[in-house]
Structure 1
Amino acid sequence: MTGFSTPDRPASRPDLRVELALLLALATLWGASYSFIRVGVETIPPLTLIAARTSIAGAILLAVIRWRGLSLPRERAVWKRFLVQACLNSVFPFTLIAWAERTVDAGTAAILNATTPIFAFLLTFLLTRHEAMSLRKAIGVFAGLGGTVLVIGVGAVDGLGRDLPAQAAIVFATVCYAGAAIFGRVFKGLDPIMPAAGSLLCGAAVLLPVSLAVDRPWTLAPSWDSLLALAGLSVFSTALAFVLYFRLVHTLGSVPTTAQAYLRVPIGVGIGVLTLGETLEPTSLAGCAAVVVGVAAMTIPARGRS
């Protein structure tokens, strides 16, 4: 078995409530990744951290595939697509964000990362046109971005431009994520775990040799905190998150799936308030409302649309 679904069996229409719950779960998993990365890079170089992240996550998903009695596709064309997806969704963006988070403050990084839906919307509108572009969806894109700024606090915008190389790296990573959401459509018909595992294994194959040559990991002495952060990053924010991601790309679409970039912000702020004793910005409640409106406009189909 290769994991392909049978073409003669029509797929049932997904339950929107389930898909939105999964979108929220994905936002939570990826929202936690920034904290994991921040702790991880304290004693593990970014390149090695991401090489380990993709290797561990890919191995976990491969084990799950074998446990389910399935096997990865063997077609060379499929693996070429896995490699492209790996570059767009892990190799470049994961490494760039890990490198940038050594200097960029959390508020600025969150704002820059939350622009993924904008780039996905623009790439879809200008190039692929594989999804219907509407004024309603455009309003949702920019309402979500405005809400993101309000949640973090308008003062966080002051940090933009202070560390241009790192901020440019995050923007480039964000464009990669947008491209990954669009390119991920080519895996329609595959069980979501297949492109998740295949792309992570390809990412590991690219990153591991570079990590061995550049960082010489055997000479490192990572702290237990960094190792625990790496474990959480690999298992939850990568292996599990990627399976949800590829499912949502096909059930909700490319642009709506990127809406979780907005949801990550209030979730991250809430985690900070509950676990770290951080305080909310005065504009946070208004920002959360704008984020919810923006995500709803991007993901919930208009009445009368199938």
Structure 2
Amino acid sequence: MSTQAQHTQAQHTTTNLAIEVGLLLLLSLIWGSSFTLIKLAVATIPPFTMVAARVTIAAMLLILIATAQGHALPRGQSVWAALFVQGLLQSALPFTLISWGEMHIASGLAGVLNATPPMFVLAIAVMTGRGRQTIGGRKIVGVALGLAGVALTMGIDALSGIGTAAPLAQMAVLGASLCYALAPIWGQRFSGLPAIVTAAGAMSCAAVLMLPTAAALEQPWRLAQPPAQAIAALIALGVVCTALAMVIYFRLIRTLGPLGTTSGSYLRAGFAVALGTAILGERLSWSSVAGMALILAGVVAVTAPARAPTIRTPAGAPPRN
């Protein structure tokens, strides 16, 4: 390959990487903003109703996108049964847990607590033996830092006040993080399907799960008309933070890979804290700030790739291509 061709290829690679990193930042901003939007919506829209509307809006948009791209939804019963589990783990259960949690805790705190899925993934790998050979001391230290950060963020009085709403809300958000850790593990079985089809199918199943649940538990037709701000937040959650985010997410899985995409979790937490402070005027205690710093440090330690070993060419040997 000529020098000019190599230079052109390097420029193309750099440009593509810049685009993907830009999309990762955009995805982190979108998902970080979801905590602020949830806080705005859940003030007047009950959590089950809000999640049902959110996933239904997203499901309809994703089906339209898949159809426009010429894809058909799967027909096999076993595939749809697996998609129901995916929809539960990926959307229905974690969205509900976060929405309920944000009725009692700040959106920034929820965003940081929800930055812990990589640590749950690592814990699952340790317990099941899957990928245990790739676990080094740095990742174990990262998990320890993250757990210490969670404990510090929740506060020393969390155990004594376990019956109150705030500690339970924090545990709910951590439960959502566990769901987000399990979802990609379960989702590996859909590798034969186009990503947009998996997203549309899983979101449709989430809608099927949440619509009757909201109808039975909250009877949304009897609720008072929510204000325009809450309705706008709900629409943004469905269109931007769910449907659009899923399209970007599955693209990044193909281009940056799961590890690179997961690294956006701590960026998302930073955006959640910044937006909660700027828009909602939220204040955090120093112990919460210190705990958040430990969580972010732990997530970085767990997700950052190991440095590739340097290959030295013996003196007098031809360079490797």
* TM-score normalised according to structure 2 size: 0.75
- Letter paired with 1:60: L
Aligned to 1:174: 177
Contact 2:92 2:206 in 1 (8 A): yes
What do the CA deviations read for 1:36-86 (whole angstroms, capped 9, x no partner)?
Answer: 111111111110100000000010010111112221222322222211111
- Letter paired with 2:303: M
Question: Is residue 140 of structure 2 the alignment partner of residue 135 of structure 1?
Answer: no
Aligned to 1:57: 58
Cα deviation, residue 186, structure 1: 1.9
Percent of counterpart pairs with the same letter? 38
- Structure 2 SS opposite 1:210: helix
- Give 5+ residue unaligned stretches, structure 1: 1-12
Question: Using the alignment, how far apart are the partners of 1:58 and 1:222 within structure 2?
Answer: 23
Question: Using the alignment, how far apart are the partners of 2:123 and 2:193 within structure 1?
Answer: 27
Aligned to 2:221: 218
Distance 1:189 1:250, change over 3 A: farther
Aligned to 1:112: 113
Aligned to 1:9: none
**Range that drifts further, 71-80 or 26-35:** 71-80
Out of 230, 235, 259, the position equivalent to 1:231 is 235
**Range that drifts further, 100-109 or 55-64:** 100-109
Aligned to 2:271: 267
Distance 1:33 1:223, change over 3 A: same
- Structure 2 SS opposite 1:70: coil
Larger Rg, first or second structure (1 or 2): 2
Distance 1:74 1:222, change over 3 A: same
Contact 1:53 1:234 in 2 (8 A): yes
Aligned to 1:241: 245
Cα deviation, residue 182, structure 1: 1.8
What do the CA deviations read for 1:13-44 (whole angstroms, capped 9, x no partner)?
Answer: 9x665554443332221111111111111111
Aligned to 2:28: 27
- Letter paired with 2:308: R
- Letter paired with 1:133: I
What do the CA deviations read for 1:128-182 (whole angstroms, capped 9, x no partner)?
Answer: 6147323344445556777899xxxx77746745533323322222211111122
Question: Using the alignment, how far apart are the partners of 1:110 and 1:158 within structure 2?
Answer: 20
Aligned to 2:79: 78
Out of 190, 193, 200, the position equivalent to 1:190 is 193
Question: Using the alignment, how far apart are the partners of 1:144 and 1:251 within structure 2?
Answer: 28
Question: Using the alignment, how far apart are the partners of 1:77 and 1:59 within structure 2?
Answer: 22
Contact 1:178 1:258 in 2 (8 A): no
- Give 5+ residue unaligned stretches, structure 2: 1-12, 311-321
Distance 1:187 1:302, change over 3 A: farther
Aligned to 1:68: 69
What do the CA deviations read for 1:184-232 (whole angstroms, capped 9, x no partner)?
Answer: 2222243221111111100000111121222222222111111100011
Aligned to 1:303: 308
Count of residues in Structure 1 that have an aligned counterpart in Structure 2: 289
Question: Using the alignment, how far apart are the partners of 1:260 and 1:57 within structure 2?
Answer: 21
Question: Using the alignment, how far apart are the partners of 1:289 and 1:99 within structure 2?
Answer: 25
Distance 1:38 1:18, change over 3 A: same
Distance 1:293 1:213, change over 3 A: closer
Contact 1:40 1:230 in 2 (8 A): yes
Aligned to 1:5: none
Aligned to 2:7: none
Question: Using the alignment, how far apart are the partners of 1:70 and 1:294 within structure 2?
Answer: 36
- Letter paired with 2:26: A
- Letter paired with 1:76: Q
Question: Is residue 49 of structure 2 the alignment partner of residue 48 of structure 1?
Answer: yes
Distance 1:218 1:34, change over 3 A: same
Distance 1:209 1:166, change over 3 A: same
Contact 1:101 1:109 in 2 (8 A): yes
Distance 1:102 1:294, change over 3 A: closer
Distance 1:179 1:156, change over 3 A: closer
Distance 1:198 1:291, change over 3 A: same
